[in-house]
Structure 1
Amino acid sequence: MIYIKLIWESIRFALQALKSNLTRTILSLLGVTVGIFAIIAVFTLVDSLEKNIKSSFSFLGSNVVTVNRFQFVGGPDYPWWKYFRRPYNNYGEYVFLRDKLRNAEAVTFSASANTTVQAGSNSYKGSNLTGVVFTYKDVYDIELESGRFFTELEINASRNVALIGQKIANTLYPGRDPIGKEIKIKGNKFVVIGLFEEEGEGLFEIASKDEAIMIPYGSFTKLYYVGRNGIEPSIAVKGKDADVGLIALENELIGLLRAKRGLKPTEEDNFSLNKSEFIMNTIGSIFDVISAAGWVIGGFSILVGGFGIANIMFVSVKERTNIIGIQKSLGAKNYFILFQFLFEAVFLSLIGGIAGILIVYAITFIQLGTLELVLSFKNVVLGIGISSAIGVVSGIVPATLAARLDPVEAIRSA
């Protein structure tokens, strides 16, 4: 009960302090408001950017290792000339790995090229055409709004059937259901059997399903010569959940691929194993630096705000010295006086912090194109926590001085 009374009296005294000298209080709290705004705004921007960028790379899949000639992540000494001379993956290697791998959930094979698709007088340029095998759906998530995925028979017989994205469907067949309709790719007719779910535009327009066409791999090889003109086939392997870090899968892949390609023990690998985590970790490390910069920028503002609140509390102790003396003469304990001023400092700091959070929340309503700003609950709690901590640090010294006042001397100071 006493704590409720302390909190209530602290709120009352804090409100009185705000009303007695509103201009001074607002100016003092401005530092906390700006500091919390700077930190939470940076964290909100970082979280939103990181989420948007990572969603743009969702096509890489999770728990997936891909076999390529090139390494996804490189530094200033990236040996692209060495990777360029490496051999392309081939369908035989896919079959070999599919039959031999024991630490994999599934293995798939695919190749992509940019193309133009037509239907009557309508056409769509720049679509991403991918030829896939039947196991593609076992490695990557295929979300369809309507229609179905390929049957194994359609894949094996290289039938001219296709899955298309929303943008392509809206361009070729505006206002109509594309399922069962024909499209043309390099003069060859394909029947649409499925429509991908709409993804929308991301921060980076990479491999969006809205502009994608998927056909059987055998049909793809009739249109393009795989292994030339930048058309590089990819082998993707989905690991098991029990294989943390996919270490066992990577080791098995390396051993099988080296054996399949006839590499001697002294020869280095002529392939690269890439994981989506490589890119995600690189993105995360970049945003960690940005977050640290946000802490530094906001930290100076919060420091100024902390001094402002400490100044308010020292003035408040000075103005209420006589009241403190009367309270202590009537039996008030030191901790009662201490908590009274400490709660007041925390309450004042929270006002500044909540104001900063509200400003960030208001900014999230601003339209920034494809970037959607979201103020997470975690950042709200962080802002309130920092504000409370600043209040405690700023108010502890004035509150301690008030608690240690001699009641006789305090009453005489009136």
Structure 2
Amino acid sequence: MKFIQLVFESFRFAWQALKGNLLRTLLSLLGVTVGIFSIIGVLTMVDSLEANIKNSLSSIGEKTIYVDKFPWMFGEGDYPWWKYFQRPRPKYSEYQFLKERIKSANAITIMDYSVANAKYENSSFDALCHGITADFNLITEVPIIEGRYFTEQEVNSGSSVAILGGEIYNTFFPDGNGIGKSIKIKGQKFTVIGTQEIKGKQLVDVGGNPDQKIYIPFLKHKRMFSSGNLYGMIQLQAFEDDENMVALEGEITGLMRTVRGLRPTQEDNFALNRPDAAANALSSVFSSLRVGGYIIGAFALLIGGFGIANIMFVSVKERTNIIGIQKSLGAKNYFILFQFLFESVFLCVLGGLIGLLLVYLISFIDLGSLDLILTSGNMIVGLFIASFIGILSGIIPASQAAAMNPVIAIRSK
């Protein structure tokens, strides 16, 4: 009960100080507001960017490994492309070899991409034509909202069937009812068997925007775009209990070396690429951006902290007589200390809340494919920093107030 009374009295004094010197207080709060706005604004921007990019990376499959000729390298110096240029691309026969023998993969597919013009009656669309196999939808989500996915027989025989991205489907069939209709891709007829729900534009579309894709069987794709040369990129997904995909990566390496007849002394002539490596590389970049945000905001908070400290020194000076009266009536030192410290923290938290409000309002601005989201975690960080600045700014003035001699304080004017 006594603690609640102490808090109430401290809040009353803080509110009176705020109202009594409104302009001075608001100007001093400006530094804290700008500091919290800078820090939380940068954190919100970085978190939103990171979430958007990682969501795009997850769209190409979680816990997956890609077998290709070129390795993905992130921030590792010069890229020796000439070293990898002569490597053979993974073949359909190697995909079949892996599919028959691999035990550490939950699913396996082979794919390839080509840009092609698709037509239906008087409408046309430059689409990304994506050749895939039956297990593709086990690794990467293919959200069919109308129609169906490929059957194993259609994939193995290279049938002329297609699944359209949402944007393409709406362009060709604005009134719906496109399932079973025939479209032309590169002059060849395909039967539409399904369409995906519209995902919308992403900040970074890794692997292409699915709304602008047409999925067709891999073998049909190779006949159309590669003169029957059955090469592509193999993708495998690890089991959930395969920690860091160690088992899958080891088995792929062994099987690929076997199928390509590599001797023990020869180095691998293939690359195993992991999307999580890209995510880890990006995480280090975003960590640096967060540090930059803290540094930028720290300067504004430093100014704001000095402003709050100045207010508290002035407040102690103006209320010296009241402090003397309170102490003569039995007020303990901790009561006086808490009273001014609470006032300092209250002012800083108020400035922090204004800064958070500004960030929240900015999150409503349309930034295209980037959605800014002020998370509860960033809000807590902002309030914690504001409270910490309040304690630092008020501890010395509050200590001076608590240490005053009541007789000398009462005599002061």
Q: For structure 2, which runs of at least 5 residues remain unmatched after alignment?
A: none
Instruction: Identify the residue that residue 94 of structure 2 maps to in structure 1.
Output: 93
Q: Which runs of structure 2 are paired with 1:360-371 in the superposition (5 Å)?
A: 360-371=359-370
Q: TM-score, normalised by structure 1?
A: 0.96
CA distance in 1, matches of 2:30, 2:308: 10
Residues 1:291 and 2:299 are matched in the alignment: no
CA distance in 2, matches of 1:164, 1:213: 5
Instruction: Identify the residue that residue 258 of structure 1 maps to in structure 2.
Output: 257
CA distance in 2, matches of 1:251, 1:329: 79
Instruction: Identify the residue that residue 275 of structure 1 maps to in structure 2.
Output: 274
Give the stretch that moved more between structures: 366-375 or 269-278: 366-375
CA distance in 2, matches of 1:289, 1:106: 36
Which residue identity lines up with residue 94 of structure 1 in the other structure?
Y
Instruction: Identify the residue that residue 130 of structure 1 maps to in structure 2.
Output: 130
CA distance in 2, matches of 1:177, 1:376: 41
Paired residues of 1:226 and 1:233 also in contact (CA < 8 A) = no
Which residue identity lines up with residue 223 of structure 1 in the other structure?
M
CA distance in 2, matches of 1:363, 1:186: 46
Instruction: Identify the residue that residue 157 of structure 2 maps to in structure 1.
Output: 157
Give the stretch that moved more between structures: 194-203 or 150-159: 150-159
CA distance in 2, matches of 1:232, 1:203: 30
Paired residues of 2:222 and 2:228 also in contact (CA < 8 A) = no
Instruction: Identify the residue that residue 212 of structure 2 maps to in structure 1.
Output: 211
- The Cα of 1:157 is off from its aligned counterpart by 2.4
Paired residues of 1:111 and 1:226 also in contact (CA < 8 A) = no
Q: Secondary structure at the match of 1:141?
A: coil
Q: Secondary structure at the match of 1:57?
A: helix
Which residue identity lines up with residue 220 of structure 1 in the other structure?
H
Instruction: Identify the residue that residue 111 of structure 1 maps to in structure 2.
Output: 112
Which residue identity lines up with residue 261 of structure 2 in the other structure?
G
- The Cα of 1:358 is off from its aligned counterpart by 0.7
Instruction: Identify the residue that residue 411 of structure 1 maps to in structure 2.
Output: 410
Instruction: Identify the residue that residue 344 of structure 1 maps to in structure 2.
Output: 343
- The Cα of 1:112 is off from its aligned counterpart by 1.4
Paired residues of 1:239 and 1:246 also in contact (CA < 8 A) = yes
Paired residues of 1:334 and 1:403 also in contact (CA < 8 A) = yes
C-alpha deviations, 1:327-378, integer Å up to 9, x for none?
Answer: 1111111111111111111100011100111111111111112222111111
Q: Secondary structure at the match of 2:299?
A: helix
Instruction: Identify the residue that residue 385 of structure 2 maps to in structure 1.
Output: 386
Which residue identity lines up with residue 104 of structure 1 in the other structure?
A
Identity fraction in percent: 49
CA distance in 1, matches of 2:412, 2:28: 26
CA distance in 1, matches of 2:10, 2:128: 64
The RMSD of aligned alpha carbons is 1.6
Paired residues of 2:113 and 2:131 also in contact (CA < 8 A) = yes
CA distance in 2, matches of 1:90, 1:232: 4
Give the stretch that moved more between structures: 132-141 or 32-41: 132-141
- The Cα of 1:232 is off from its aligned counterpart by 5.6
- The Cα of 1:227 is off from its aligned counterpart by 8.7
Instruction: Identify the residue that residue 333 of structure 1 maps to in structure 2.
Output: 332
CA distance in 2, matches of 1:408, 1:241: 73
Instruction: Identify the residue that residue 301 of structure 1 maps to in structure 2.
Output: 300
Q: Which runs of structure 2 are paired with 1:103-252 in the superposition (5 Å)?
A: 103-125=104-126, 127-206=127-206, 207-225=208-226, 233-252=232-251
Q: Secondary structure at the match of 1:60?
A: coil
Q: TM-score, normalised by structure 2?
A: 0.96
Instruction: Identify the residue that residue 25 of structure 1 maps to in structure 2.
Output: 25
CA distance in 2, matches of 1:382, 1:278: 28
Deviation >6 Å, runs of 4+: none
CA distance in 2, matches of 1:11, 1:46: 36
Paired residues of 2:168 and 2:212 also in contact (CA < 8 A) = yes
Paired residues of 1:88 and 1:227 also in contact (CA < 8 A) = no
CA distance in 1, matches of 2:245, 2:344: 51
